[in-house]
């Protein structure tokens, strides 16, 4: 980013969020998604010894970075890798790779016996984050807090009405993020995302776990985007290789007799009968869940997989010009897309939900743009 860019890269201590420095960041690419970690890559120029002393304070694994546009935080996450580079002309730079705060849960493993019986699935997800950060649940004041795990993620009070039972055993080395993703992937599951923003009252940076069942939704009014207009380009890919009309989920074996052949437990979703009756061929989807032996859970997983990939998978994308009309909180937002061109001669007017965002800051004469990944609202 050049000196006149509307973006600032703010580097902070991961655990207490103390600002370390605000540094230039070039060749930036950044994305964010619902339900999975987003990423950031960029290069910090090191033109002299004074800048080198400042950049040395960036330590991978313990430094957070925020991308701020104007007064709004558009992205936040953890620097996991940093590469010092020297060109053939002796020009130094530090390349960084970061991932959103969800990625921290992908680096932590459940090392305690945890059990949930008929607990709301969003409460289970929230309590897993509590245990990840504290080494205990927030309401277990009689138990000691484990030092070093708290990265300042806060929580809300969302509920879904969908009750789940789950058990995690010390020694299985289950990754926290994988446990949350496995719950979210069930039929009538949920979405999760860690949003970053400034507290409107104090201006402090906030890392907030957002949960929504079955979807996360942001805002109460549609964001209207037109082509010609805000929309610079668009793509509507249709991929039948990723879709299907039947789905089977396979689990682990429930065989306790080592002398007998072990076969996985499995369950099938109800086939997409309407599509088959309309002329679609049978196309089979399959997934493996080795730690699951419950047929009810496996059927729920298969049903959810088929619901997301019935027929052909379509993930539209539109590239838009970033201006004051485009808010930073785009994930989960409903947008109204209006397109008139040679293909849409009568005009497309449809509602979609934003499930992913890729931001490209202005560089070398290119305007600020964002690519929005969409699903039908």
The enclosing domain of 83 has a CATH number of 2.30.300.10
How far apart, in whole angstroms, are the C-alpha atoms of residue 105 and residue 146?
15
pLDDT band at 227 (very low <50, low <70, confident <90, very high): very high
If you average pLDDT over residues 299-314, what whole number do you get?
Answer: 89
User: pLDDT tens digits, residue range 228-245?
Assistant: 988 999 999 988 888 999
Instruction: Please indicate, yes or no, whether residues 230 and 371 belong to a single structural domain of this protein.
Output: yes
pLDDT in tens, 60-80: 999 999 999 888 999 999 999
pLDDT tens-digit map of 75-91: 999 999 999 999 999 99
Least reliable range by pLDDT among 9-23, 115-129, 197-211, 353-367: 353-367
324 in the same domain as 230: yes
Q: Domain for residue 1, yes or no?
A: no
Q: Are residues 175 and 227 in the same domain?
A: no
**Secondary structure class of 23 (helix, strand, coil):** strand
| 1 pLDDT more than 60 | no
Residue 352 makes CB contacts below 8 A (sequence gap 6+) with 316, 334, 335, 337, 374, 375, 376, 377
> Beta-carbon neighbour count of residue 226 at 10 Å?
14
Q: What is the pLDDT of residue 39?
A: 98
pLDDT the model gives residue 252? 87
Q: Do both 194 and 301 map to the same domain?
A: no
- Domain containing 304 equals 242-312
Is 51 part of any domain?
A: yes
What confidence tens digit (pLDDT) does each residue in 134-178 have?
A: 999 999 989 999 999 999 999 999 999 999 999 999 999 999 999
247 lies in the same domain as 361 = no
The answer to whether residues 96 and 22 belong to one domain is yes
Q: What domain count does the chain have?
A: 4
The residue that leads in pLDDT, 2 or 368, is: 368
26-33/369-376 β-pairing: unpaired
- Mark whether 358 and 233 lie in a shared domain: yes
Domain boundary among 100, 133, 156: 100
């Amino acid at each position: 980013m050049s000196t006149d860019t509307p973006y600032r890269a703010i580097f902070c201590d991961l655990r207490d969020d103390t600002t370390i420095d605000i540094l230039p960041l070039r060749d930036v690419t950044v994305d964010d998604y619902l339900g999975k970690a987003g990423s950031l890559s960029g290069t910090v120029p090191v033109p002299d010894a004074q800048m080198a002393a400042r950049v040395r304070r960036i330590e991978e694994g313990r430094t957070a970075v925020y991308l701020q546009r104007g007064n709004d935080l558009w992205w936040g996450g953890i620097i996991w890798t940093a590469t010092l580079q020297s060109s053939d002309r002796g020009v130094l730079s530090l390349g960084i790779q970061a991932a959103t705060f969800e990625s921290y849960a992908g680096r932590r493993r459940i090392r305690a016996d945890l059990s949930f019986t008929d607990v709301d699935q969003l409460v289970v997800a929230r309590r897993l984050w509590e245990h990840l950060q504290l080494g205990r649940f927030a309401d277990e004041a009689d138990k000691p807090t484990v030092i070093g795990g708290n990265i300042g993620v806060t929580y809300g009070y969302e509920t879904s009405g969908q009750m789940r039972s789950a058990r995690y055993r010390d020694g299985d080395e289950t990754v926290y993020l994988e446990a949350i993703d496995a719950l979210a992937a069930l039929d009538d599951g949920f979405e999760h995302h860690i949003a970053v923003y400034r507290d409107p009252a104090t201006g402090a940076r906030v890392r907030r776990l957002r949960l929504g069942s079955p979807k996360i939704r942001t805002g109460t009014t549609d964001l209207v985007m037109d082509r010609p207009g805000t929309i610079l380009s668009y793509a509507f890919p249709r991929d039948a290789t990723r879709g299907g009309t039947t789905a089977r989920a396979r689990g682990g074996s429930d065989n306790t007799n080592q002398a007998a052949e072990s076969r996985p437990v499995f369950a099938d979703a109800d086939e997409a009968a309407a599509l088959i009756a309309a002329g679609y061929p049978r196309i089979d989807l399959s997934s493996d869940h080795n730690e699951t032996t419950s047929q009810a859970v496996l059927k729920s997983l298969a049903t959810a997989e088929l619901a997301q990939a019935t027929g052909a998978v379509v993930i539209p994308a539109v590239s838009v010009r970033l201006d004051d009309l485009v808010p930073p909180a785009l994930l989960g937002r409903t947008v109204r897309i209006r397109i008139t061109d040679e293909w849409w001669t009568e005009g497309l007017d449809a509602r979609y939900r934003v499930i992913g965002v890729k931001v490209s800051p202005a560089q070398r004469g290119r305007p600020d743009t964002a690519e929005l990944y969409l699903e039908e609202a």
